[in-house]
Amino acid sequence: VAVGVLFGIISNFRSGVDGAGAWRIIFATMFMLAPASIQIAFSYPFYRANRAASEYDSAIIGDVSLEEYSNASIISFDDKNVFPSYSVKVQNIRIYNNARIDRVLYYASSVFAYAGGPLQDVFEIATKDMGTSENVRIFDTESGFLATQVDGVNIIFGSYKALTSRGLEIPQNAADDDVDFSDDLAIMYMFRESVLVAKMYIKYDMDEDIDVILKQFAGDGLYVCVRTFDPNIDEKMVARKLGVKHVPLKVVRYVSTDEVGKYEEKVDSGLVTSSAPKSLLQVISYCEKVKLARKTNTACGVISLVIGVLLMMFMVLSNSISALSSFLIAVYQTVWIITMVIASNIHIR
């Protein structure tokens, strides 16, 4: 308004424009410098993000959520969300020291029925006729190591390195093929009362969507935290699956089985989904993209304002203000609206 009044006064003194003409210049300046594009600079990116989130059966609720989740550094998932049970298979089991295969499966199934994770369903299918024990305890868990007790019997699972570092003996001939299979299969040894009873070759395939999203987040500062009791799942294994050296993922061991698959009946959140929890990974990325789109649109709004001032100043000083019609003003505003829509679409795909 102030700029319009200034241009009106200038026109009156320079060109002798009457009161009606001055008012026309004032209103033309107001419509020119109050860009309609600003109306969509903030609302359209948010709409665009929610439209994209709806493809994942998810939504972002309220502008406050953008600030809350765009600065998120860690998001946590259970191991089943990263390695679904249907993508994990026990390829082979070797038995040692005259152990019985049915007892090996019984102990393994009982432990992972208690510990949860993708191996829970894998062993449940293999032992559905023999059942599992409910008398299970977990004593210690680390990368490559899981110490448990089933019906009072000590059962330990883990990798060659982790187990031998704790004094457990694995014959060299049992470990000869570990290097050959380590890139494709996880090799898990099983001990009963400190005696090697089995060696399992397990194939883990990562959820395809998680795979894509983790690669997308590489270098963005957002880390995915995977909670698990599974001794085979660690950062190195995930990095091999992704084919990258550095992966934005941290594996954290559960402290208690009470944490496994724990869900709250009610919780306050600005992000919601009716799909798999992995969908929230993609939706979180939209929060930051909305903020970037808004910054870009704000810059476009400032540029349009400056250009508008220069155009109006030129027309006033050259006495060509009469050539400015409502149609030209509408075209000018439409150009900037289209620019902001395109910028938002580039940021949020």
Q: What is the DSSP string of 238-272?
A: HHHHHT-S--SEEEEE-S-GGGTT---SS---SEE
* Cα(277)–Cα(81) distance, integer angstroms: 7
Q: Enter the tokens of residue 325.
A: 């019609």
Give the three-class secondary structure for 286. helix
What type of residue sits at position 223? Y
Average pLDDT over residues 55-67: 77
The two counts, helices (H) then strands (E), for the chain are: 15, 11
For residues 205 and 21, the model is more confident at: 205
Q: Enter the tokens of residue 195.
A: 């005696």
Q: Let me know: does 150 contact 135? Beta carbons within 8 Å.
A: yes
* Cα(198)–Cα(105) distance, integer angstroms: 10
For residues 130 and 181, the model is more confident at: 130
* Cα(67)–Cα(287) distance, integer angstroms: 8
pLDDT at 91 over 70: yes
Alpha-carbon Rg of the chain, whole angstroms?
32
Q: What is the pTM of this model?
A: 0.68
Q: Let me know: does 232 contact 85? Beta carbons within 8 Å.
A: no
Q: Let me know: does 77 contact 209? Beta carbons within 8 Å.
A: no
* Cα(44)–Cα(97) distance, integer angstroms: 67
pLDDT at 12 over 70: no
Range list of H helices, 260-325? 279-317
CA distances from 249 to 146, 158, 185, 204 (A): 21, 21, 20, 16
The pLDDT assigned to 199 comes to 94
pLDDT digits (tens, 9 = 90+) for 217-248: 665 666 778 889 999 998 888 877 777 667 67
Q: Enter the tokens of residue 31.
A: 């419509």
pLDDT at 110 over 80: yes
For residues 192 and 270, the model is more confident at: 192
* Cα(245)–Cα(250) distance, integer angstroms: 14
Share of the chain above pLDDT 70, in %: 73
Average pLDDT over residues 46-56: 84
